[in-house]
Structure 1
Amino acid sequence: MATGETIRGLLELTRPMNVVAASVLTFIGGFVAGGVGEAPLHLGAAVGATAFAVGAGNAINDYFDREIDRINQPQRPIPREAVSPRGALAFSLVAFLAAVAFAVTLPPIAIAIAVINLLALITYTEYFKGLPGIGNALVAYLVGSTFLFGAAAVGDVQAAVVLFLLAGVSTLTREIIKDVEDVDGDREEGLNTLPIAIGERLALHIATVLLVVAVVASPFPYLDGYFGVAYLLVVVPADLVMLYAAVESYRNPTAGQSHLKYGMFLAALAFIVGRAALLLT
């Protein structure tokens, strides 16, 4: 019988905040595409599939990363022995199966996105994480694709293409900064991440340029007519937080990537506010 510490450890494996964030992004994708009123059951299934898939992906990531985490993140469930490696693997399998059960109820294009994403989640740590830039790009795609998945679930994937691109670029920036933060443990494990391959400062320069591109592009959803002016009132502060985070990462990558996450959450809120305000006018 599972102890309280084990249950807490299993929950931590999923990264609950990441699960909630990804689920919210899927909801936003469906909301922008009009799914709340037209296809609420499909949108709910998409949110459920996203939640279980992200939780499963994070759990299996911790399974494969358990030796690196003993150096970089010793407080995580497997290094501190709250959950065994075998238990984490079994838990991730159950969560993946739950994600599949939700996904198969959706339209074909949403199922296709789900299949691609599930394969990416399973193979990420073992095959792509240590490749300079490739692993970062894959994670960026996965985050951005939550918008596409939510929109596809309700039948209008085109409505979320711009959101997919903006979220993907912002996430790529954060992933590079995270690799700078983890460079010691990654080097010890023999991984060849972008900061190790080209140097930490050059990697941060690339991350900053990418973020500036995303910030410059952030008004496009308003200009395209998907969001009302309220979107701009929220996305501008989000842009400022993210730009500050990029500058901060040069002296403190840990704080920088954390603040960048806050800016990304604020940007997600801007998508909701902007679409809602447009619908009410």
Structure 2
Amino acid sequence: MSVSLGIQASRRRPEPRAILTLIKPITWFPPVWAYLCGVVSSGVPVMSAPWLVLIGMVLAGPVVCGMSQAANDWCDRHVDAINEPHRPIPSGRIPGRWGLWIALVMSAAALALGATLGPWGFGATVFGVLAAWAYSAEPVRLKKSGWWGPGLVALCYEGLPWFTGAAVLSAGAPAWQIVVLALLYAVGAHGIMTLNDFKALEGDRQTGVNSLPVTLGPERAARVACWVMALPQVAVIALLTGWGQVYHAAAIAALLGVQVWAMRVLLSDPKGRAPWYNGTGVTLYVSGMMVAAFAVRTLV
């Protein structure tokens, strides 16, 4: 143990594998998926501008989302020392201020890449970069709020990429139906972010982060998360039915039905089952997003 600590203390440069861990590739899927939902919902053939699709996927996932993870880990290094001391920064595998420099360089790279997607893509990138820092960094640090913090992350993970994908492919503002669906799924994703906060419950308590699991307790927070995830999907089903997309609405209703079953399992042991639900219920949730994207593409 003492040898390991000595190596960490003397390290001057980060481990390459630690940098990859820092930007958390597993978190890239939601914004990439949401961007593709926007592309599909636009009704524009993907092969008409494949480079815009590819650049947008790289921007939404590895670059902007990866940057947000680096910024969050840097700003959360004291919390992670309690919750996850093995993380790259508290463990010393990324020493000194390297975590900050990585986040700043990736912020600049995000803006440069976003500029290649035209004014709508660049504007969305600026919003995403600012939101990432507002969530994690003092003095704003919206992460301290169990309502505003998860809400901002949900918007940037689901709503913003969806809007961006549709705007970039359409070369203009998306149809209002697309905007409404993107916002509804972003609202529902607030519940997903609340469940994600369960893993940091102890550290959040000690460092003054007022997540919903901290302020409401695990049981009540899980119930709130379930309602927040379910109600927007009910609204989506109603809208699609009203727009004549009955089969798509029925498919989302079926997916929601399975989610309700998974929610009942979650509520039997919220803290213990939260990771399981994130792999089960969330998959069903995002599947419904793509179904809705295919439904709306025939309306715009």
TM value normalised by structure 2: 0.79
Partner of 1:139: 153
Tell whether the 8 Å contact from 1:49 to 1:100 is kept in structure 2 after alignment.
no
Shift of 1:162: 3.6
Shift of 1:228: 7.7
CA distance in 2, matches of 1:62, 1:248: 28
Matched, 1:107 2:118: yes
Q: Cα distance 1:178–1:115, how it changes in 2: closer, same or farther (>3 A)?
A: same
Structure 1 segment 245-256 matched on structure 2, within 5 A: 245=263, 247-249=265-267, 251-256=269-274
Q: Cα distance 1:186–1:67, how it changes in 2: closer, same or farther (>3 A)?
A: same
Pairing partner for 2:40 from 14, 31, 49: 31
Q: Quick check: 176-185 or 117-126, which moved more? A: 176-185
Please list every run of 5 or more consecutive structure 2 residues that lacks an aligned counterpart in the other structure: 1-10
CA distance in 2, matches of 1:153, 1:194: 35
After superposition, the C-alpha distances for 1:115-169 in whole angstroms (9 at most, x for unaligned) are 1111001121121101231111111111121111111111252353243234313
SS at the partner of 2:117? coil
Partner of 2:59: 49
CA distance in 1, matches of 2:295, 2:134: 40
CA distance in 2, matches of 1:13, 1:227: 42
Q: Cα distance 1:197–1:233, how it changes in 2: closer, same or farther (>3 A)?
A: closer
CA distance in 2, matches of 1:33, 1:40: 14
CA distance in 1, matches of 2:184, 2:34: 12
Tell whether the 8 Å contact from 1:174 to 1:257 is kept in structure 2 after alignment.
no
Q: For the aligned residues, what is the CA RMSD?
A: 3.2
Matched, 1:174 2:184: no
Q: Cα distance 1:236–1:152, how it changes in 2: closer, same or farther (>3 A)?
A: same
Partner of 2:29: 20
Matched, 1:209 2:227: yes
Tell whether the 8 Å contact from 2:248 to 2:292 is kept in structure 1 after alignment.
yes
Tell whether the 8 Å contact from 2:178 to 2:296 is kept in structure 1 after alignment.
no
Q: Quick check: 173-182 or 60-69, which moved more? A: 173-182
SS at the partner of 1:154? helix
Larger radius of gyration: 2
After superposition, the C-alpha distances for 1:161-183 in whole angstroms (9 at most, x for unaligned) are 24323431332112222334422
Q: Quick check: 161-170 or 88-97, which moved more? A: 161-170
CA distance in 1, matches of 2:24, 2:215: 28
Shift of 1:273: 5.6
Q: Cα distance 1:184–1:246, how it changes in 2: closer, same or farther (>3 A)?
A: farther
Partner of 1:186: 204
- 2:166 aligned partner, one-letter code: A
TM value normalised by structure 1: 0.84
Structure 1 segment 154-165 matched on structure 2, within 5 A: 154-155=169-170, 156-158=173-175, 160-165=178-183
SS at the partner of 1:115? helix
SS at the partner of 1:169? helix
Report the count of equivalent residues: 279
Identity of aligned residues (%): 25
CA distance in 2, matches of 1:48, 1:189: 34
- 2:155 aligned partner, one-letter code: Y
Q: Cα distance 1:180–1:267, how it changes in 2: closer, same or farther (>3 A)?
A: closer
Q: Cα distance 1:70–1:64, how it changes in 2: closer, same or farther (>3 A)?
A: same
